[in-house]
A = this chain, B = another copy of it.
Amino acid sequence: MSEDVEQTLRQHGFQVTAQRIAILRALSSHPHATADELAADVRASIGSISRQAVYDTLGLMVDKGLIRRIQPSGFTARYEDRVNDNHHHLICRSCDSLVDIDCATGDTPCLSAGDDHGFVIDEAEVIYWGYCPACRGKAAPAKPGSSPKSSTT
């Protein structure tokens, strides 16, 4: 299994180092982890790693499309290794839990924006906000001034 990770690294043009292997493995066991959480996980397996190495590696991997970085409003950056598989994220406003969600609409649904302003669009990132089963009852904090925010789409 360590070989798989090594393979992946080489295929994407990375030098193979203990740190990178550890980061990648940490990521696959902790999807949606923050840089610090990954660092902690890596330290548990490797002994130690510098913060800089973590940020450098994650940054490079994101650039090469090996992993994905997400950063919803109010959260610090999170990373995941599910990539190129057409999924989105669903976040509970109350307890901050974050789950993956597959897009119902086929292959490139949301890519059809109205007027694209001349941009070449290569990705549509969707974040669904709401309340998870556990918080659904207890929370529902009836936003006072505003209408129930029906179709922010």
| Bound complex: CA A118 to CA B99 (Å) | 11
Q: Which residues of B contact A146 (CB under 8 A)?
A: 12, 64-66, 84
Inter-chain contact A101/B117, CB cutoff 8 Å: yes
Given contacts A117-B99, A119-B131, A144-B13, contact A124 B104 (CB under 8 A): no
Q: Which residues from chain B contact A72 at a C-beta distance below 8 Å?
A: 71
Q: Is A4 part of the binding interface, using a Cβ–Cβ cutoff of 8 Å?
A: no
- A125 part of interface (Cβ distance < 8 Å): yes
Measured in the bound complex, the distance between the Cα atoms of B86 and A71 in whole Å is: 21
Residues of B contacting A103 in the complex (Cβ-Cβ under 8 angstroms): 113-114, 153
Give the interface residue-count category, chain A: 35 or more
List the B side residues contacting A138 at CB < 8 Å: none
**Out of B63, B109, B116, B148, which one reaches A153, CB within 8 Å?**
B109
CB within 8 Å of B: which residues of A?
A: 11-13, 63-66, 69-74, 77, 84, 86-88, 90, 92, 99, 101-105, 107-133, 136, 143-153
Task: Pull 10 A–B residue pairs with CB atoms less than 8 Å apart, ordered by A.
Answer: A66-B146, A84-B150, A84-B152, A87-B153, A102-B114, A110-B110, A120-B136, A121-B128, A122-B149, A123-B152
